[in-house]
Amino acid sequence: MTGALQKTLEFLAAVCLYVFLFYSIFAVYYTSPLVRGTPLVPLNVSHLATHLIFMVTDGMRADKLFGSQLKYTPFIRNILLNKGAWGLSHTRVPTESRPGHIAMLGGFYEDVASITKGWQANAVEFDSILNRSQRAWAWGTHEVVQAFGLNTVNLVMAKSSPSELSDLVKHSISDIDRWTVDQFLAELHNKETGFFATLPISTDQSSTLRKGHVAFLHLDAADLVGHAFKPDSNQYVELLGHLDRSVEQVVREVENASKGLNVTVAFILTADHGMTDWGSHGAGSIHETVTPLLVWGEGLSGPKLLPDTEIGQPVSTDKYGLPPHIEGRVRRDIQQADLCPLMASLIGVPIPVNSVV
């Protein structure tokens, strides 16, 4: 064997070794932790609500929504004081839309194997609240609603908003949220196959323990406005008013449409992630990893009142920029992935099999 040939073989062997070692890093550390084939475990409890409306205001800062005594959001304030439980939902990095929604609806945090998809999609299929329900609808941006592979599941309808609505030069700051709300209202008033329409439960749905109707409304305006104008801008304050009116319209229309029907409805309003003062997210700062949470309706407790002995005491804000209570209504905090079993228990379906809770 000549010296040149030997050097060539040694070089090729070294390259192969480095390629093997490089691949082994991904094989060991970037393999999906999701376990496939896990059986469903029924809750063995009756449902608390027949219908669930899950509203996510993308990128909403908790201190902006719940701060200033909610003077920009009178309807949400009324819900907080008289009907619902409020608090904070704590998420994890990366504080992006796709992993945040998967944590809430799937019950698990970012799958490290998603690095092989450039963090833009999940590497493996996963279970979620939407495909546990008997029927579900999802409206919002393509990035979010298509992350769940919803159109592959029978009786689950996903519809993406037109991409041009994200252009705040050509459209109002509230247009993209208006589109989502209008889509929901159209289904709400569809008596044949809409949100309150009664359809027979098929044998397949019964055997897979599917129950309840779930409407998922992805409201992207807060994220767009935060990026474009920053959370301290007048446009962000204006957006809070638009959000309040959107939530009010959804609730009022649901109340009117459900009169005389044998249905019970629960509502959840939250965000997938927060945002920094300079309009970014993705990292782990306090304002990025803390999101607002307001829940009310059937099966959900009302406000937790401050003990009489503490009423009138001086109130200061904490590191999140929020007080421990608002007008005597105590704040309650949860982990973002806890929303998944909460929603499962509300409509009485098995907790999605990939949930970490």
What proportions of the chain, in percent to the nearest 5, are helix, strand and coil?
A: 40, 15, 45
Asked whether residue 290 is assigned to any structural domain, the reply reads: yes
Helix H or strand E segment including 27:
helix 3-29
The pLDDT, as a whole number, for residue 72 is: 96
Tens of pLDDT, residues 215-247: 999 999 999 999 999 999 999 999 999 999 999
* Longest CA span, the chain: 92
The three-point CA angle 323-326-329 to 5° equals 120
Among 109-113, 148-152, 292-296, which range has the highest average pLDDT?
292-296
Asked whether residue 32 is assigned to any structural domain, the reply reads: no
pLDDT classification of 123: cutoffs 50, 70, 90: low
The pLDDT, as a whole number, for residue 260 is: 94
Asked whether residue 175 is assigned to any structural domain, the reply reads: yes
Q: What is the pTM of this model?
A: 0.89
Give residue 66's domain range.
47-347
- Domain of 342, CATH number, reads 3.40.720.10
Place of tokens 């919002």: 140
Tens of pLDDT, residues 40-85: 777 777 889 999 999 999 999 999 999 988 999 999 999 999 999 9
With the C-alpha atoms ordered 241, 247, 253, 259, is the resulting torsion angle positive or negative? Answer: negative
Give phi and psi for 217, each to the nearest 5. Answer: -110, 110
Q: Hey, what are 235's tokens?
A: 């446009």
Place of tokens 């005597």: 328
Do residues 90 and 289 lie in contact, with contact meaning Cβ atoms separated by under 8 Å? yes
Residue 159 CA to residue 301 CA, distance in Å, equals 32
Do residues 333 and 101 lie in contact, with contact meaning Cβ atoms separated by under 8 Å? no
Nearest to 131 by CA among 101, 113, 157: 157
pLDDT classification of 149: cutoffs 50, 70, 90: low
Asked whether residue 25 is assigned to any structural domain, the reply reads: no
Q: For the ranges 16-30, 262-276, 291-305, which has the lowest average pLDDT?
A: 16-30
Asked whether residue 317 is assigned to any structural domain, the reply reads: yes
Count structural domains, the chain: 1
Q: Would you state the torsion angle of the CA atoms of residues 249, 254, 256, 258, taken in this order, to the nearest 10 degrees? A: 180
pLDDT classification of 354: cutoffs 50, 70, 90: confident
Q: Hey, what are 277's tokens?
A: 């003062």
Residue 261 CA to residue 344 CA, distance in Å, equals 22
The pLDDT, as a whole number, for residue 27 is: 62
Asked whether residue 102 is assigned to any structural domain, the reply reads: yes
Q: What's the N-to-C CA distance of the chain in angstroms?
A: 62
The pLDDT, as a whole number, for residue 292 is: 98
For residue 331, pLDDT beyond 70: yes
Mean pLDDT of the residues in the chain: 88
pLDDT classification of 125: cutoffs 50, 70, 90: confident
Q: For the ranges 69-73, 155-159, 302-306, which has the lowest average pLDDT?
A: 155-159
Tens of pLDDT, residues 84-105: 999 999 999 989 998 899 999 9
SS (H, E, C) 53-73: EEEEECCCCHHHHHCHHHCCC
Asked whether residue 22 is assigned to any structural domain, the reply reads: no
Asked whether residue 357 is assigned to any structural domain, the reply reads: no
For residue 259, pLDDT beyond 80: yes
Do residues 273 and 97 lie in contact, with contact meaning Cβ atoms separated by under 8 Å? yes
pLDDT classification of 126: cutoffs 50, 70, 90: confident
